[in-house]
Amino acid sequence: MMLRPRWIGALILSLALAAGFALLGQWQLERAVESGKVVDAPSETVLPLAQVAKPGGPITDKATGQLVTLEGSFVPTDYELLQGRLNHGTAGWWVVAHVTVGGTATDSEPVALAVARGWAADENTAKSAMARLADQPETQQTIVGRLLPTEAPEVPKDKSHPFVMTTMSAAALYNLWSGVDGQDVYSAYVVEATPPAGLVKIDSPPPIQESTLNWLNLFYAAEWIVFAGFAIFFWFRLVKDAKEKEDELRELEESAAQLGKVD
């Protein structure tokens, strides 16, 4: 039955349809993979802070993790310590500062910015470094670091130390800084790329670029593969039905012939 010209032609047509469906499935699969490719963000290109973030609102996903540069001055009286900050898996202390950005003769109104200057493994080292930094004059300098979104403030779990800070919250720090009433503040902070003497550089790797597949294209690809299989199955089913009909006709003819002989 399958070797008859009619069904061979039908098989060729079914194979052509299956090949077309398979090509469409491959195209949809390539679309899914292409849309899921990681596009490297230029986070390691140092950009001016004013170009990637504005004060008073959250930073964008694109700006998160961006290396930035800015001109500002550290306020000596506004240094704080953050406890329990991990650096390469080890808990320690961050020394954080209040930086005044702008406010010079050529700039607009000053803006407050939190900067994490460095890490220390123990509290005494952190306090000693903080004391040295607080003695330095407030002068304009260039600061380079990685821009990260502010963290939510956290209520200290140890009630005996109610003023201990564990999160880098711009809002919480703003309430502790001096001379910032009515001043704009960045809802983000900068991890300084080069820590001052006595402190260890804070581990701040580039942001991880996630890759996600386009599931709709994957669904379409699977759908076309099913269609390709169905084209072959449809041919097989037609051949099988034709053979069953021929067998039934043959049986009827044989039965009629036997009845004729009996008569």
pLDDT score recorded for residue 47: 95
Select the more confidently predicted residue: 183 or 230. Answer: 183
Paired tokens of 137: 């004059």
Q: What is the mean pLDDT of residues 182-197?
A: 95
- If one compares 97 and 30, the residue with the highest pLDDT of the two is 97
Please give, one letter per residue, the 3-state secondary structure of the chain.
CCCCHHHHHHHHHHHHHHHHHHHHHHHHHHHHHHHCCCCCCCCCCCEEHHHHCCCCCECCCCCCCCEEEEEEEECHHHCEEEEEEEECCEEEEEEEEEEEECCCCCCCCCEEEEEEEEEECCHHHHHHHHHHHHCCCCCCEEEEEEEEECCCCCCCCCCCCCCCECCCCHHHHHHHCCCCCCCEEEEEEEEECCCCCCCECCCCCCCCCCCCCCHHHHHHHHHHHHHHHHHHHHHHHHHHHHHHHHHHHHHHHHHHHHHHHHC
Least confident of 32-36, 48-52, 229-233: 32-36
pLDDT tens string 193-246:
999 999 999 999 887 665 556 677 777 778 888 888 888 888 888 888 878 787
| Verdict on whether the full-model pTM lies above 0.75 | no
In the structure, what pLDDT confidence band is assigned to residue 42 with cuts at 50, 70 and 90? Answer: low
Instruction: Tell me the C-alpha to C-alpha distance, in Å, between residue 33 and each of 57, 106, 169.
Output: 35, 50, 39
Q: Report residue 263's pLDDT band, with 50, 70 and 90 as the boundaries.
A: low
- Residue 46 CA to residue 31 CA, distance in Å, equals 33
pLDDT tens for each residue of 131-179: 999 999 999 999 999 999 999 987 766 655 667 899 999 999 999 999 8
Asked if the model's pLDDT at residue 106 lies above 90, the reply is: no
Average pLDDT score over residue span 46-63: 91
Read off the pLDDT of residues 60-103 as tens digits, 9 standing for 90 and up.
Answer: 888 999 999 999 999 999 999 999 999 999 999 999 999 999 86
Provide mean pLDDT across the span 98-115. 82
Q: 116: how many CB neighbours lie within 10 A of its CB?
A: 23
Work out the number of other CB atoms within 10 angstroms of the CB of residue 68.
22
